Amino acid sequence: MKVLVPVKRVIDYNVKVRVKADQSGVDLANVKMSMNPFDEIAVEQAVRMKEAGTVTEVVAVTLGAEQSQETLRTALAMGADRAIHVVHDGELEPLAVAKMLAKLVEEESPDMVILGKQAIDDDANQTGQILSGLLGWSQGTFVSKVEASDGGVKVTREVDAGLETVALKMPAILTVDLRLNEPRYASLPNIMKARKKEIAKKTPEELGVDTAPRLTIVKVEEPPKRQGGAKVGSVEELVSKLHNDVGVI
């Protein structure tokens, strides 16, 4: 079984995000970048399935600028077998990403696509679901456990009411959540080997996908600073403040 694992280069989760002075977007100058944490979990899951003998090949893919190949090197160092880089400068919306992934699925013919439930830069949580719709494949979202079953896969999903177990037919799309696993640290020998591996390069034009944005960013602002709390002496005073000062009741 072949697994395709999309990964994304984002601002490192330990870095404080800064807004540009003109409020046109997030400032990326001299900022540490790394693989999206949810995608790290996806790579780890695919590699573990390969180590268990369930998967025969893990193909990592990313879409973005030239610098994004470092994210692919990380995936290769973690255990991915091959890597594909769709080179594109500028922002990519989930619809365009899903369309390009669908084209790659047609070329690579994987049995499963495993990706993070969302990227921590836009928090869209859309790519996996759109890809499932484009391909007509089964989908399991917010996955916290994966088990092989006869002719398919059984996944445990994290939902509002708790946990839900779903049996999926193959081929399938999985979007993974935090509690699925703990990603490994790539060893130094594997990092050195990954630097020597060739990364196949493609362009959106070769895939026949229009990447023109459908949305326009009007303004980006930092969230307002939280104000200090206040103590009240009684329920009546609390209700009064909520009604008169805050206006929520």
Per-residue model confidence as pLDDT tens for the chain (249 residues) = 999 999 999 999 888 888 888 888 888 888 899 999 999 999 999 999 999 999 999 999 999 999 999 999 999 999 999 999 999 988 899 999 999 999 999 999 999 999 999 999 989 999 999 999 999 999 999 999 999 887 789 999 998 888 999 999 999 999 999 999 999 998 899 999 999 888 999 999 999 999 998 888 888 888 888 888 888 899 999 999 888 887 777
Residue 223, pLDDT score:
83
- Both tokens of residue 208? 């026949």
Contact predicate 34/9, CB 8 Å: yes
Helix axes 69-78 and 37-51, enclosed angle (nearest 10): 30
CA angle centred on 44, ends 40 and 133, rounded to 5°: 70
Per-residue burial over 7-29, b if 16 or more Cβ lie within 10 Å, else e, is bbbbbeeeeeeeeeeeeeeeeee
Residue 28, pLDDT score:
84
Class of domain 2-223: alpha beta
Give which of 81, 143, 68 is closest to 110, Cα–Cα: 81
Burial of 114 (0-12, 13-18, 19+ CB in 10 A): buried
Contact predicate 53/31, CB 8 Å: no
In Å, how far are 27, 64, 199, 238 from 127, measured between CA atoms?
24, 15, 23, 43
Rounded Cα distance, 89 and 123, in Å: 20
CB-based contacts of 16, cutoff 8 Å, min separation 6: none
- Both tokens of residue 44? 């780890």
CB-based contacts of 63, cutoff 8 Å, min separation 6: 6, 8, 85, 86, 88, 92, 97, 100, 101
Query: Within a 13 Å sphere around the CA of 134, how many CA atoms are in the beta-carbon half?
Result: 20
SS3 (DSSP) at 216: coil
